[in-house]
Amino acid sequence: MMNNSNENTTKKPTHNIYITKLKTGAEKPEWIKVGAAWEHGDEEGLNLSLNILGETVSMVVRKNRAKAE
């Protein structure tokens, strides 16, 4: 099997994804887990898997790179 630099090398997520919601009268916000993320092998980005309104949404995050002049 070929291993691209953005492929996951582990099945376990390297990060968890949360939203925070401050409830009325609460001092601290509630942390609600909405997904997981896996770091790319090149450490330049993440694959995200979010659960939004019962649907699983996949996203990719990559570091910004300087544009060639």
Q: Render each residue's pLDDT in the chain as its tens digit; 69 residues.
A: 334 555 555 589 999 999 999 999 999 999 999 999 999 999 999 999 999 999 999 999 999 988 887
Amino acid at 14: T
Distances from the Cα of 5 to the Cα of 1, 13, 32, 67, angstroms = 13, 16, 30, 21
pLDDT reported for residue 7: 56
pLDDT reported for residue 6: 55
pLDDT reported for residue 2: 38
Measure the CA dihedral 50/15/17/38, to 10°.
Answer: -20
pLDDT reported for residue 61: 97
pLDDT reported for residue 48: 98
DSSP 67: P
